[in-house]
Amino acid sequence: MWKLYTDAACTQVFGGTLSTVHYSDHSEGSLDYVFYFADVERDPADNGAYLLKMPGGGNYSFTIEDATPGSGHETTEIKTALTSAGLDNAVPGAALSIGVSATSGVTGAIPIHVRVTNAVTSAGVSVELSLRKPEGRVYAA
């Protein structure tokens, strides 16, 4: 039930693929997005009733995936961070750790900031990049 949402109220589920428009002269600049990682279906009362953790412990991390490496955008054009300011110093293509657990509900939503810096020189729309979240286990809080 843990999903990425495109709004802070966690009402619009993210489809899973970043759709970016880029120009051959790179005049679009970097494109920033914010997604919210939450479980609002299992916790509609927003009382933090559940925790998401990795089986066996460790940090829960998002990775960037490229469905067509070598064409369009590459994962090295993507930065992720827990804050907008964190994007400036984030390592392109690196996984993003959100910590050892996440708490359910809208108030427990974790903002995931994403920056795409275009390196493609042909105009078009790229849809091959996606954020991948691992399968975690849900526990009662």
What Å distances lie between residue 88 and 6, 84, 93, 108, 115, CA to CA? 21, 8, 13, 25, 9
Tokens 């997005």 sit on residue:
33
| Confidence (pLDDT) at 23 | 72
| pLDDT value, residue 122 | 64
109 pLDDT above the threshold of 80: yes
Section 78-89 average pLDDT: 96
46, pLDDT greater than 80: yes
Cut 0.85: pTM above it: yes
Q: Where are the domains of the chain?
A: 3-140
Query: Burial of 132 by CB count in 10 Å (0-12 exposed, 13-18 middle, 19+ buried)?
Result: exposed
Say what the pLDDT of residue 110 is. 97
Mean pLDDT for all residues in the chain: 88
